[in-house]
A and B are shown apart, each in its own frame.
Chain A
Amino acid sequence: MLRVTNLKAAYGKIEALHGISFHVEKGEIVTLIGANGAGKSTTLKALMRLPPPESPVVTGGDIAFDGVSLLGMPAHCVVSDLRMTLAPEGRRIFGNLTVMENLQLASWSRQDGQDGGMEEAIRRIFDLFPRLAERARQRSDTLSGGEQQMLAIGRALMTQCAVLLLDEPSMGLAPVVMYDMFRTLKRLNAEGLTIIVVEQNARLALTLADRGYVLDTGEIVAEGPAQALLNTPQIKAAYLGG
C-alpha cells in the first residue's frame, strides 16, 4: 500500500534521513522505533508532505501510495485524496474549539458533509470514545490528557483515513489510559485500518504491531516481525531496557 524507497530528507543542510526503505501493506500495524533523534517523526512528516521549516524537505528517493508517487502533493491533498493522515505528536487538538467543532473540521476533507455522512461518522467516533460524547459541547482545552488523545485520534478518523500515522500516542498518558488506547487501536485495525505508529515505548509498540523497523540516526538498522524483534538480544539491550 505504502512503499518508501531510498528516502532521503533534510532540514536545511542537515540530512536527517540517509536513504531509508520500508513498506506497509494494507491492514497492517507497522511500528518505527528508535532513540531520540533517530528520524522517526521526520519520517512521518515526510510521508505526510508537511511543509518546511518544521518538517524536512525530501531530497531523494520516493514515497509511493498504491503505486503512485505522492511527492508532488501538498499535505491537505494527501489527507483528502489519498486518505492518509497523521495524529501529530503532543495531540495538538484545537483548544479554542469545542470537541464537536474539532470533529466537524473534518468536513474540509470529506465530500459527504451535506448528506448526513458527517453525523454518522461523529456517532461512530462517540461509540468508540464515549467520553468524548459526554464532553461534546465543551471547549477541548478543558479535556484531560487522555481525553485529548482520544480526540486527536477521533479527529483523525473523521477524515475517513485508510492509513493512520500516529506520532507518540502514549506520550504523557497514564499506563491504564495508554493500554486502553492501544486496545482501541487494535480494534480499529481489526476493522481494516492500516496503522503506522512511532513510539518511544518500544516494547508497547512492538506488542501492538505486526512488523517493526528500528531506526538509528537516519538509517534502518533492523526490521522484521514484531515478535522476532522483541526477542532479538541486541534490540532488547538497546531499546527494551535489557
Chain B
Amino acid sequence: MRRYTLNILFCAAAVALVWLAQAEMLDGYVLNILMLIGINCIFAVSLNLVNGYMGEFSCGHGGFMCVGAYAGALISVAFFADSALFGEALFAPWLAPWLFPVILLGGMAAAALAGLIVALPSFRTRDDYLAIITIAANYIIISIIENIDAIGGPRGFSGMKRTVNAMADVIELPWMLMWTLAGVFVCVLVIRRLMSSTYGKGVSAVCQNEVAAEMMGVNTNRVKIMAFMASSGLAGLAGVLYAHIYGYVNAQSFGLLKSTEGLVMVYLGGMGSISGVLMAAVAFTLLIEVLRFVIPWLNETLHAVNLLPAGYQLDQIWTWVFIPLMLILLMQFRPEGFLGNRELSDVFPRLRRWITLK
C-alpha cells in the first residue's frame, strides 16, 4: 500500500485539477502557469539525473528541450496540419488523441539521440570540460535550427495548435493539462525506478568514483551515456509539451538562459533529490510569475518616493537580476539547496510510514 500512496495522491490531485479546468473554474492564466510548472518539473528533474545523481555538470539542457520541441512540433504538423513543408495532413483529425503519444515519443527520441551525439565525444572528459562542451552543444543546436529556413529559421515554427484543437474537437477536455500531468508522472516514475535499480546504483557509483565503479564491473561509459540519453530524452518531453501548449516554438527560447533556469531549479532543490527539485521547480516558476507583478509595483513605488530617476523604468529584465541574486544568496546561506541530496522522507522520517520513494 505504502508503495502506491504517492502515486494515488498525485493521481487524485491531477484528477482534481483536470476537473477544475473542465468545469472552467481555472482561468487561462492559472492553467498556463500550472502547465508551465509541469514543464519545469520535467525539465529540472531530468537535469537532476545528470547534475545531481551522476555528479556531472551539464549546462546545455535547454538545447535538448529545443530538439524535443522542434521534433515534436514537426511530427505534429506533419500528422495533423496541412502545411507548405509536409503537404496535406497524414491523418484524420479524430486520430489526434490517439497519436499524440507518438508525437511525444518522437520528440523524446530525437532529444535522446541529440544527447547521444553530444555524450559520445564529450564523456571522455569531465567536470569543467563537460560543462564547456554542453554549453557549446546548446549554442550549436540553436544555431543549426535557426539556420534551417524550411522550419522557419529565426522566425520560429508554428502550426501545432491544429493538433491541440483536433484533440479538443474529439472530446472537449483540457488535453494539454492532462498530457503535462501525465508527463510529470512518467518522468518522476522513470527516474525513481531508474535510481532504485542496479543501473541507478551504477549512476551513483560513477558519481562517487569512476575507478572504483569500473572495479566493480560497472561499464561506466555505458552508464554515463545511458543516463545522459535518458536525461536529454526527458528534456525533449518537456520540449514537446511546451511546443504544443504555446503553439509556437522559437529556438531562441531554449538558449543558455533556459539551461540556467534548469540549473537554478536543481541547485535550489538540492542535487540528487527528486522531491527537493520538484519543490524548487514549483517555487521557481511561481517566483517568476510573482515577479511579473512585483516589478511594476516596485517601479511605481520607487518612482513615487523619488528613488529612481524619472526617465528610468524598472522593467521585466530585472527578473534576471533577482533570480541570479537569489542563486548567489542560496550559495551563501544554504549551498545544499532545500533538501541537499536527501528526499522529503529522509528529512521527515515520519512520512515514511505513509510514502516510499522506491
Residues of A within 8 A of B (CB): 48, 50-51, 54-55, 74-76, 79-80, 85-88, 92-97, 101, 104-110, 113, 155-156, 158-159
Check: B214 CB closer than 8 A to any chain A CB. Answer: yes
Q: Which stretch in B39-47, B132-140, B215-223 binds the other chain? A: B215-223
- Given the interface contacts A76-B220, A101-B201, A107-B198, does A94 sit within 8 Å of B208 by beta carbon? yes
Residues of B within 8 A of A (CB): 198, 201-202, 204-205, 207-209, 211-221, 272, 341
| A104 CA to B207 CA, complexed, in Å | 17
Closest 5 interchain pairs by CB?
A: A109-B217, A92-B212, A80-B217, A79-B217, A108-B217
Query: Is B204 in contact with A86, judged by CB distance below 8 angstroms?
Result: no
| A186 CA to B301 CA, complexed, in Å | 79
| A155 CA to B217 CA, complexed, in Å | 11
Cβ contact of B216, chosen from A55, A74, A96, A159, cutoff 8 A: A159
List the B residue with the shortest CB-CB distance to A54.
B211
What chain A residues lie within 8 Å of B215 (beta carbons)? 48, 75, 79, 85-88, 156, 159
Cβ contact of A105, chosen from B207, B211, B216, B219, cutoff 8 A: B216
What chain A residues lie within 8 Å of B211 (beta carbons)? 50, 54-55, 88, 92
What chain A residues lie within 8 Å of B202 (beta carbons)? 105, 108
Query: Is B218 in contact with A94, judged by CB distance below 8 angstroms?
Result: no
Query: Is A104 in contact with B201, judged by CB distance below 8 angstroms?
Result: yes
| A117 CA to B210 CA, complexed, in Å | 25
13 further contact pairs, Cβ within 8 A, besides A94-B212, A95-B208: A74-B219, A76-B214, A76-B217, A85-B217, A88-B209, A88-B215, A92-B209, A92-B212, A97-B204, A105-B202, A105-B205, A158-B216, A159-B215
Query: Is B207 in contact with A106, judged by CB distance below 8 angstroms?
Result: no
- Given the interface contacts A50-B211, A88-B212, does A97 sit within 8 Å of B201 by beta carbon? yes
List the A residue with the shortest CB-CB distance to B198.
A107
Taking the closest CB of chain A, its distance from the CB of B225, in whole angstroms, is 14
What chain A residues lie within 8 Å of B205 (beta carbons)? 94, 97, 105
Taking the closest CB of chain B, its distance from the CB of A65, in whole angstroms, is 16
Interface CB pairs A-B, < 8 A, 24: A48-B215, A76-B217, A79-B214, A79-B216, A85-B215, A88-B209, A88-B211, A88-B212, A92-B209, A93-B212, A97-B201, A97-B205, A101-B201, A105-B205, A105-B213, A106-B217, A107-B198, A108-B198, A108-B218, A108-B219, A155-B216, A156-B215, A158-B216, A159-B216
| A76 CA to B215 CA, complexed, in Å | 6
What chain B residues lie within 8 Å of A93 (beta carbons)? 208, 212
What chain B residues lie within 8 Å of A88 (beta carbons)? 209, 211-212, 215
| A76 CA to B212 CA, complexed, in Å | 10
Query: Is A50 in contact with B207, judged by CB distance below 8 angstroms?
Result: no
| A113 CA to B198 CA, complexed, in Å | 10
Query: Is B216 in contact with A106, judged by CB distance below 8 angstroms?
Result: yes
List the A residue with the shortest CB-CB distance to B206.
A94
What chain A residues lie within 8 Å of B207 (beta carbons)? 96
| A94 CA to B272 CA, complexed, in Å | 15
What chain B residues lie within 8 Å of A109 (beta carbons)? 216-218
List the A residue with the shortest CB-CB distance to B207.
A96
| A54 CA to B215 CA, complexed, in Å | 14
| A75 CA to B210 CA, complexed, in Å | 11
Taking the closest CB of chain A, its distance from the CB of B53, in whole angstroms, is 9
What chain B residues lie within 8 Å of A108 (beta carbons)? 198, 202, 216-219
Taking the closest CB of chain A, its distance from the CB of B48, in whole angstroms, is 14
Cβ contact of A94, chosen from B204, B214, B221, cutoff 8 A: B204
| A155 CA to B209 CA, complexed, in Å | 14
Taking the closest CB of chain A, its distance from the CB of B354, in whole angstroms, is 20
- Given the interface contacts A76-B220, A105-B201, does A94 sit within 8 Å of B209 by beta carbon? yes
Cβ contact of B341, chosen from A51, A96, A113, cutoff 8 A: A96
| A110 CA to B217 CA, complexed, in Å | 8
List the B residue with the shortest CB-CB distance to A94.
B208
| A108 CA to B213 CA, complexed, in Å | 10
Taking the closest CB of chain A, its distance from the CB of B337, in whole angstroms, is 15
Taking the closest CB of chain A, its distance from the CB of B56, in whole angstroms, is 15
| A53 CA to B209 CA, complexed, in Å | 14
Query: Is A105 in contact with B218, judged by CB distance below 8 angstroms?
Result: yes
What chain B residues lie within 8 Å of A155 (beta carbons)? 216
What chain A residues lie within 8 Å of B204 (beta carbons)? 94, 96-97, 101
Taking the closest CB of chain B, its distance from the CB of A84, in whole angstroms, is 10
Query: Is A50 in contact with B216, judged by CB distance below 8 angstroms?
Result: no
List the B residue with the shortest CB-CB distance to A91.
B212
| A229 CA to B198 CA, complexed, in Å | 45
Query: Is B208 in contact with A159, judged by CB distance below 8 angstroms?
Result: no
List the B residue with the shortest CB-CB distance to A83.
B217
Taking the closest CB of chain A, its distance from the CB of B191, in whole angstroms, is 16
Q: Select the residue from B209, B216, B221, B341 with max chain A CB neighbours within 10 A.
A: B216
| A92 CA to B207 CA, complexed, in Å | 11
| A113 CA to B272 CA, complexed, in Å | 27
Taking the closest CB of chain A, its distance from the CB of B123, in whole angstroms, is 11
List the A residue with the shortest CB-CB distance to B124.
A51
Q: Select the residue from A87, A93, A94, A104 with max chain B CB neighbours within 10 A.
A: A94
What chain B residues lie within 8 Å of A107 (beta carbons)? 198
Taking the closest CB of chain B, its distance from the CB of A148, in whole angstroms, is 12
What chain A residues lie within 8 Å of B220 (beta carbons)? 76
| A92 CA to B87 CA, complexed, in Å | 59
| A51 CA to B124 CA, complexed, in Å | 10
What chain B residues lie within 8 Å of A75 (beta carbons)? 214-215
